[in-house]
A and B are shown apart, each in its own frame.
Chain A
């Protein structure tokens, strides 16, 4: 069984079983492939250099739309314009965090630096946002229902399996954030 992340002298330490590492690696990879653009949107090297993507559109996939939301609530045109300037680098920074988190899974000891921990926190958060869309978690009541699924022997179908995975990543992220809060407090 995994152990909660703990903040200590050497950084933030966690422990994961090999199967849990495999699970997380595949979750991180899944979100990376969602975020990777289907094609090189713009071949213009200057546009690519400044992160401009004239082809950017609001994603049709719900989960992707949650990862890359509109910047204005009631102005689709302005949001689209903004998206063309920012979405590519947002995708890249999310992919960067997911890749960095995945790399630490290769270490024998799971000891995270402050930068590793930030990558892990956002990577786990993005994984949870995607799982939540797949599980159709729309409000706190939905979230509470999913939270009741804690016993792996209950995993009968894809949805119950996803719910258990969601709860595992929620627990892991909560313990990580607590450890990060301790490290923040320790610096003050």
Chain B
């Protein structure tokens, strides 16, 4: 379930060679969906950060930053991708016990932000 995942700007940067052609390929189709993690009072901060590091391969710094955003703002967009990609991540996050949803990238601009705290389902 947690196999071979590589996404997000962090992992892309290291393999980008900066040619015009590869840039075109990357921006070509669409990156229209977000993976959102919601705050809850149960999941340990250390655990959430560990999941971001081990599943997404994020650095400790990035994982902690996203974890704190979940904690303080009630939610955080932790990954982007095609609908299928973020859905796959959501199932993996549910496997870990994190509260994850997917949304169209345009839905995330403010509309749901900050409303998650203390509310369920």
Contacts and interface: CB of A to CB of B under 8 A. Distances in A.
B53 interface: yes
Q: Chain B: interface residue count, which band?
A: 20 to 34
Contacts of B87: 71, 82, 86
B99 A142 contact: no
B97 A129 contact: yes
A173 B47 contact: yes
Interface string B3-40: 00000000000000000000000000000000010001
Contacts of B95: 90, 93-94, 122
A68 B100 CA distance: 10
Contacts of B117: 139
B91 A90 contact: yes
Interface stretch (A6-14, A151-159, A176-184): A176-184
Contacts of B100: 69, 71
A181 B48 CA distance: 11
B55 to A, nearest CB: 10
Interface in B47-64: 47, 50, 53-54
A171 B50 CA distance: 16
B1 A93 contact: yes
Interface string A76-101: 00000010001001100110000000
A93 to B, nearest CB: 5
Contacts of A122: 95-97
17 contacts: A66-B99, A69-B99, A71-B101, A72-B102, A72-B103, A89-B91, A90-B95, A121-B50, A125-B47, A125-B97, A138-B118, A139-B41, A143-B42, A173-B47, A177-B46, A177-B50, A181-B53
Interface of A: 65-73, 82, 86, 89-90, 93-94, 121-122, 125-126, 128-129, 132, 137-140, 142-143, 170, 173-174, 177-178, 180-181, 184
